[in-house]
Amino acid sequence: MSKPLMSKATAVWLVDNTTLTFRQVADFCGMHELEVQGIADGDVATGVKGFDPVANNQLDAIEIEKGQKDPLYKLKLKFNAAAQGEDKRRGPRYTPLSKRQDRPNAILWLVKFHPELSDGQIAKLVGTTKPTIQSIRERTHWNIASMTPIDPVALGLCRQSELDTAVQQAARKRAAEGGVMSDDERRKLVSTEQSLGMTDEPRVPSALDIFKKDEVEEEEKSPADFSDAESFFNLPQSDDDEDEDDDHRR
């Protein structure tokens, strides 16, 4: 096992009770250095009670002493035979109780904006069952009238990278099957971040585009031919010029 049990609570304890660097704590707990810094600043893991890894036989006190003396030293997790194989366990995604009521709204969002996703992909993203997804697809869910589509990333049910990966997999599968995609489907099969930059309305031409178009039209017009000097000086005269010539003759 590469991480200690209750890694976030362990990081809280190490930050509060040792002088280890953020990098050392992050490497030992399998977290990001900035996340450990957020724990120290009180922005992350607010209200989480520290979990002593020494008292729980996950770390030797000697390891902490070595780490405090040498900032480059990496803490070593104690071997626990009972913990072997824990990382290989697979099962449905756990959803906290406080967010389970938001899952139908997230499923409705995925069904509406990413219909190419399979029921299995949606089930993995938000931790739900296929019968629930099917009832929302067919709009037979008991609470369908009160549902509002909400992005599962905004609800914290999945990560943006996980959603983008699922969408890209659906795109490759559709391409391999040779299915014909409409413009709307093609828009949905790109990453969410890219799709946010798209617009359904045609782009209004800018002043620069209009100016360039006028230049091209002027260039396409054939220019006047002034190669003959006599034709240049013998331009047709106006009525006023003819009257002046008659006065001079008189």
For the cut 70, the answer to whether the pLDDT of residue 79 exceeds it is no
Q: What is the mean pLDDT of residues 200-223?
A: 51
* The pLDDT of residue 57: 84
* The pLDDT of residue 109: 94
Which amino acid, 2? S
SS3 74: coil
* The pLDDT of residue 44: 81
* The pLDDT of residue 159: 85
Neighbouring residues of 183: CB distance < 8 A, sequence distance ≥ 6? none
Segment 142-180, tens digit of pLDDT: 999 999 999 998 888 888 888 888 988 888 888 887 655
Q: What is the DSSP string of 48-70?
A: PPP--TTTTTSS-HHHHHHHHH-
* Widest distance between CA atoms in the chain: 127
* The pLDDT of residue 201: 42
Percent of the chain with pLDDT over 70: 62
Percent of the chain with pLDDT over 90: 21
* The pLDDT of residue 137: 92
Neighbouring residues of 170: CB distance < 8 A, sequence distance ≥ 6? 114, 116, 117, 118, 121, 189
CA angle (121, 127, 130) in 5-degree steps = 60
Q: Where are the domains of the chain?
A: 7-88, 97-195
Q: What is the mean pLDDT of residues 198-213?
A: 48
The number of angstroms, rounded, from the C-alpha of 91 to the middle of its chain's C-alpha atoms is 25
* The pLDDT of residue 148: 92
* The pLDDT of residue 84: 52
